[in-house]
Structure 1
Amino acid sequence: MSAIKYDLAAIENRPPNMAVQFVERVKASADREAFRYPVGESWESMSWREAGDHVDKLAAGLLALGIEPQQRVGIAAGTRYEWILADLAIMCAGAATTTVYPTTIAQDVAYILADSECRIVFAEDDIQVAKLVEQRSELPHLRHVIVFDGAGDGDWVMTLAELEAKGAELLASDPEAVRTAISKIAPDDLATLIYTSGTTGRSKGVRLKHSSWTYEGASIAAQNILSEDDLQFLWLPMAHSFGKVLLSAQLAIGFATAIDGRVEKIVDNLGVVRPTFMGAAPRIFEKAHGKIVTMQAAEGGVKEKLFKKAFEVGLKVDKLKLEGKPVPFLLGKQHALFDKLVFSKVRERFGGRVRFFISGSAALNREIAEWFHAAGILILEGYGMTENAAGAAVNHPHHYKMGTVGPALPGTEIKIGEGDEVLLRGPHIMEGYHNLPEETSRTLDADGWLHTGDKGSLDEDGFLTITGRIKELFKTSGGKYVVPPAIESQFKALCPYASQFIVIGAERNFCIAVITLDPDAMAMWAAENGMEGKSYAEIVSSDKVKAMVGDYVDQLNTRLNRWETVKKWILLDHDLSIESGELTPSMKVKRNVVEEKYREQIDALYA
């Protein structure tokens, strides 16, 4: 496999900071579309020139409020175009953004804002403002709150429009105020403080420099896989580094982005926006796969048989092509027919124009990736973490291997350390953890290598494969190692009704699983099985559902080593959620929370 040639000049000559990167993009693409956003049932558009005007006034408004270089400004909101304008304004004022998920409880919001010493906070609505009011005594540094939706109070809280008006006043008297602030930002200045929504322990503030983000954008641009003519659909939480790295790519390349953070609207929005690419967590692809498969199963008869045969043929053709073998004439004719009858309809569900999806933040099951690929939809899996500004490796549309997370980004070094731990080094590596020097020294070694805590391997072509988090691997009492994520993703690929499948068995004599089913998928199942109108709890506690789940567990076990097989399982009467504290905002399972919460039921299985 020949390596891709990268345009390394784009990395070497990148802008000194994100503020300059934005200003240069506005100048180069002034009249092109920058952002598209929903207003009611329709979508409105904003050019780069208009975005630049808003950001100038907002940045000037922050300067008028007294913000100083590298002081922190929080954003507590879901993904929307105002989030991005606020973030750009913070950086253009020379300050640094602290991100807060809108689902974060008040006490944790207070911890993040106090630890980061936020002076100003952009809050989405009255719900987010109420958290700040409740915790005001814990926030001695907080001076002002700017609300996206809602009214100001004439004192502590002001609206986005009021901040812009304040900025316009400053620019009227000092037109160069923002440009002066930008000129003082050094590449190594703090740009972002992202608190990890870790699956264990309290959040740690990751300090990321301007040079980390400009590198990420430039390294993606250097791969020449995106252009100004692409259209991104962005729903990912901007409080997460995955969302932020896509913004850095947009600034470097200049494509337009349609923004709507409502997860429940993703599929509908794809059909309307018709993007050319989108980033997503594996859970989104699992849900889409499950929904399409269960809808076809509900159709039954000839349509279901046609659907199954199409994917049988599609997977066979894909295998031959990936192995570099010719496709027999009749098989090729079959495939062309199925592409017209079946696969084109699958692609149309995602808008019909997607060139590729990018999957990150957790491992994507290879079978699901192959299923989408058979339908003509390429999912490029990538790898990174908040501590390295999200991007370290990614597959390329013309240079990919399914089951891997691709080769290193140009300018990034990857090596495998002791215990098969993945180590990273490059311009994107964090400065350290905020106020946590000991944690920093444990994670960053003297030679600049970031110890990721992930177990992995590199093949002869430099493609990285991630096995799982080292701390998630466990040994049974019989001394055999088990890799839970590998088993869990297999179950999700097998069972289209699955939401979560958590394998447990450390120091036990066999493995068990905690299982939840997807509420939307189960509502469809209920309608087909005489249980329409029943509650989710009633549906999943029925003997028929338990028997169905048991069948899928049995199928899973035929694929596993004897010590990995799931001997017993619990089916919960509710799905896991971010609000309950069982999932992180990026939809990863908090294993310790799940194990503790259902300790009694788990122990009963081992009794």
Structure 2
Amino acid sequence: MSDTDNLIENRPPSVATLFIERVAATPDAEAFRYPVPPASGQGPDDWKSLTWGETAERVYNISAGLVALGVRPEERVSLASATRIEWILADFGVMCAGAATTTIYPSTNADESVFILSDSGSRVLIAEDASQLAKVRAHRTELPDLAHVVVIEEADAKPDESDPEGWVLSLDDLEKLGAEELAARPDVIRQRIGALTSDQLATLIYTSGTTGRPKGVRLRHDSWSYMAKAMAATGLISHDDVQYLWLPLAHVFGKMLTSGQIEVGHVTAVDGRVDKIIENLPVVRPTYMAAVPRIFEKVYNGVAAKARAGGAAKYKIFQWAAGVARETSKVSQDNFRHTGNASVPFNLAAKHKVADALVYAKIREAFGGRLRAAVSGSAALAPEINYFFSGAGVPILEGYGLTETSAACFVNPGPAYRTGTVGKPMPGTEVRIAEDGEVLIRNPAIMVGYHGLDEKTAEVLEPDGWFHTGDIGELSTDGYLKITDRKKDLIKTSGGKYISPAEVESQFKAVCPFVSNILVVGGGRNFCSALITLEEPTIMEWAAEHGLGGKTYAQVMESPDTQRLIDGYVQRLNDGLQRWQAIRKFRLLPRDLDIEHGELTPSLKLKRPVVEREYGDLIEDMYAGTREK
């Protein structure tokens, strides 16, 4: 057994133990940074810090406050809030009380929020503000188990005359209650932590299903202590890192990142406002951050649009530099794979030096100037976009995992990263490919099962611990995994050809700098077609330059000029595809797909059945009059 294996095998039963150890080891070191908007509402945010010791004080007060409210081990405490420092403090507090955090996206509607609270049997809801409180207040009689709602924004913690006594309180009230509890019973939280066992329920995360109700994924305390140790063992994070955390903490990815932070003790800057990412990066100056592919696609399209707006000469320089970046990344990865040296030929290195001065340095500066690596997960990133950023000095390390596996179980290994793959197994993770190509995973972080759904659990979890991911993949001889598609998303044409929609969609995103979302259809049909949306700022800027100024987005989508523009990119896409993969027809949608209309998950994945159902008439129109084979 290696030192790494031994470290993971001998992990503590809970991250709560690691938290106590971290606080004891570095009480005065900075743990978190978070923004405080100016009172006037104008000007830049003021960033404040918490040391590990200060973090612990607030965490233990929250934890003891929950104990004082009567929360028992493994009882559920729901969190409905955007990503912010209080989310993390509350989650740590729930963990240290021995309870189980149940996550709810703040964008979740009232009906589904009530379902999650009811299905989980949550005793307490920690809600961000008045809007989250209102969702449950209107349905309080349907939630007999919900004893209290704790509101983070103090001004919004206002009891209604119909509320039971003590049903609504502020987070500040909870912390004061906890301080009183600790004064009376100083060891109460350490006793709760000491009593934790590895198989106790720590987290209940509801998957955002594409159809029907979401399923609650039950994750043990042991899942997170394993994940913390495994993350550290990869060598991708260290004590000296500064992480920028903006991802939704209701997603399993965020919980994994905070677990790893506790293990190594680095600094995390927390701000979930997506519209502040560009503004925050030069302020935070992170050394690493995690994101979903949609963010990198937006950055790439934004950089290309800015270059195009600068005139023909500037855009030509950008296109040349983008080509050099991709070539450099491909050659260096290939050399590293075969020789262990990522060097490139002299002529290419000389071109790269010029391109770096003209283009790449500005891109790195936009990311804060210190970004050592970015981790991308949740969905596939188009390889050509990855090659571009990696060649520009912003390596994007793709990883892979699911809610059911406590997030990452594969990640690209630093300098040995391989674009187009999700890397190698995390330490302690086993993988095998089933006869039908499905990826099977086994490790200590696999879920206990779906909450109250034993039959659904048995469909994906074998008695010996192997989990059926539902993804189709290929494993290289040296252990790199490539995910080719979701098993259920593969489509078969009427001619008998199997097609991976995700692969075609990914290639189009690399070809077309205007695209926002694309959905390829063709199951049971004699050719493939697509529904396409465009990045509004980018296409509206193009529209203004091409005689379409003053028109709405929907009107621009209908314009023959826009249709011709996108048709050109579709033809470029088709040039690189097999005949049966080619997009024969497409339709531009009058608005972008979004979370609010239920077309994207909170992690920005396409909900294919929802989009196909909503735009069924457009799809049928593309096939009208064609002869099915």
Fold conserved between structures, TM > 0.5: yes
**Do structure 1's residue 144 and structure 2's residue 155 form an aligned pair?**
no
Which residue is equivalent to 2:334?
Answer: 323
Which residue is equivalent to 1:352?
Answer: 369
Q: CA offsets per residue over residues 200-227 of structure 1, 9 Å max, x none?
A: 3320000000110111110010122221
Q: CA offsets per residue over residues 69-116 of structure 1, 9 Å max, x none?
A: 100000011111100100000011110000000111111011111000
Match of 1:270 among 261, 271, 281: 281
Q: Which amino acid aligns with 2:470?
A: G
CA distance in 2, matches of 1:88, 1:498: 39
Match of 1:39 among 26, 32, 36: 36
Which residue is equivalent to 2:61?
Answer: 57
Q: Which amino acid aligns with 1:244?
A: K
CA distance in 2, matches of 1:595, 1:29: 52
**Do structure 1's residue 261 and structure 2's residue 272 form an aligned pair?**
yes
Q: CA deviation at 1:134?
A: 1.5
Alignment partner of 1:46: what SS? strand
Q: CA RMSD in A?
A: 1.4
Match of 1:14 among 3, 11, 14: 11
* Stretch moving more, 78-87 or 20-29: 20-29
Q: Which amino acid aligns with 1:364?
A: L
Alignment partner of 1:418: what SS? coil
Q: CA deviation at 1:568?
A: 1.0
Which residue is equivalent to 2:27?
Answer: 30
What does residue range 215-364 of structure 1 map to in structure 2 within 5 Å? 215-324=226-335, 327-364=344-381
* Structure 2 unpaired stretches of 5+: 38-44, 160-164, 336-341, 625-629
* Stretch moving more, 294-303 or 572-581: 294-303
Query: Percentage identity across aligned positions?
Result: 51
Q: CA offsets per residue over residues 504-530 of structure 1, 9 Å max, x none?
A: 111111111111111222233234334
- Which TM-score applies when normalising by structure 1? 0.97
CA distance in 2, matches of 1:530, 1:24: 64
Q: CA offsets per residue over residues 329-372 of structure 1, 9 Å max, x none?
A: 34322322221221111111111110000000111111110011
Q: Which amino acid aligns with 1:442?
A: E
Q: Which amino acid aligns with 1:194?
A: I
CA distance in 2, matches of 1:460, 1:226: 27
Q: CA offsets per residue over residues 216-255 of structure 1, 9 Å max, x none?
A: 1100101222211100001111111011111111111111
Q: Is the 8 A contact 2:304 2:315 kept in 1?
A: no
Q: Which amino acid aligns with 2:372?
A: R
Q: CA deviation at 1:533?
A: 4.1
Q: Which amino acid aligns with 2:82?
A: G
Match of 1:529 among 523, 537, 546: 546
With over 3 angstroms needed to count, the CA separation of the structure-2 counterparts of 1:326 and 1:581, relative to structure 1, is: closer
What does residue range 200-599 of structure 1 map to in structure 2 within 5 Å? 200-324=211-335, 327-599=344-616
CA distance in 2, matches of 1:155, 1:432: 34
Q: CA deviation at 1:382?
A: 0.3
CA distance in 1, matches of 2:175, 2:524: 59
CA distance in 2, matches of 1:384, 1:109: 25
Q: How many residues align?
A: 603
Alignment partner of 1:501: what SS? strand
Q: CA offsets per residue over residues 164-216 of structure 1, 9 Å max, x none?
A: 01111111111111111111110110000000012333200000001101111
Q: Is the 8 A contact 1:199 1:588 kept in 2?
A: no
Q: Which amino acid aligns with 1:274?
A: R
Q: CA offsets per residue over residues 273-295 of structure 1, 9 Å max, x none?
A: 11001111111111111110111
Q: CA deviation at 1:433?
A: 0.4
Q: Which amino acid aligns with 2:275?
A: E
* Stretch moving more, 398-407 or 113-122: 398-407
Q: CA deviation at 1:17?
A: 0.6
CA distance in 2, matches of 1:211, 1:277: 26
Q: CA offsets per residue over residues 255-285 of structure 1, 9 Å max, x none?
A: 1111111112212211221100111111111
CA distance in 1, matches of 2:498, 2:214: 29
Q: CA offsets per residue over residues 380-431 of structure 1, 9 Å max, x none?
A: 0000000010111000112221110001001000100131100000101100
CA distance in 2, matches of 1:546, 1:305: 23
CA distance in 2, matches of 1:327, 1:175: 61
CA distance in 2, matches of 1:146, 1:580: 28
* Structure 1 unpaired stretches of 5+: none
Match of 2:112 among 108, 114, 126: 108
With over 3 angstroms needed to count, the CA separation of the structure-2 counterparts of 1:201 and 1:304, relative to structure 1, is: same
Q: Is the 8 A contact 2:15 2:228 kept in 1?
A: no
CA distance in 2, matches of 1:393, 1:445: 20
Q: Is the 8 A contact 1:444 1:451 kept in 2?
A: yes
Alignment partner of 1:323: what SS? helix
Alignment partner of 2:537: what SS? helix
With over 3 angstroms needed to count, the CA separation of the structure-2 counterparts of 1:330 and 1:592, relative to structure 1, is: closer
Q: Is the 8 A contact 1:8 1:222 kept in 2?
A: no
Q: CA deviation at 1:317?
A: 2.9
Which residue is equivalent to 2:41?
Answer: none
Q: Is the 8 A contact 1:37 1:81 kept in 2?
A: yes
CA distance in 2, matches of 1:328, 1:459: 27
Q: CA deviation at 1:472?
A: 0.2
Q: Is the 8 A contact 2:83 2:246 kept in 1?
A: yes
Q: Is the 8 A contact 2:253 2:407 kept in 1?
A: yes
- Which TM-score applies when normalising by structure 2? 0.94
Q: Is the 8 A contact 2:13 2:198 kept in 1?
A: yes
Alignment partner of 2:272: what SS? coil
Which residue is equivalent to 2:173?
Answer: 162
Which residue is equivalent to 1:134?
Answer: 138
Q: Is the 8 A contact 1:10 1:221 kept in 2?
A: no
Q: Which amino acid aligns with 1:177?
A: V
With over 3 angstroms needed to count, the CA separation of the structure-2 counterparts of 1:307 and 1:115, relative to structure 1, is: same
Q: CA deviation at 1:601?
A: 1.6
Alignment partner of 1:45: what SS? strand
Q: CA deviation at 1:326?
A: 5.9
Q: CA offsets per residue over residues 296-338 of structure 1, 9 Å max, x none?
A: 1111233222222222233333333223286443432232222
Alignment partner of 2:532: what SS? strand
CA distance in 2, matches of 1:413, 1:372: 30
Q: Is the 8 A contact 1:7 1:223 kept in 2?
A: no
Which residue is equivalent to 1:190?
Answer: 201
Which residue is equivalent to 2:128?
Answer: 124
Q: CA deviation at 1:140?
A: 1.2
CA distance in 2, matches of 1:266, 1:82: 19
Q: CA offsets per residue over residues 132-180 of structure 1, 9 Å max, x none?
A: 0112121110000000112242631100100001111111111111111
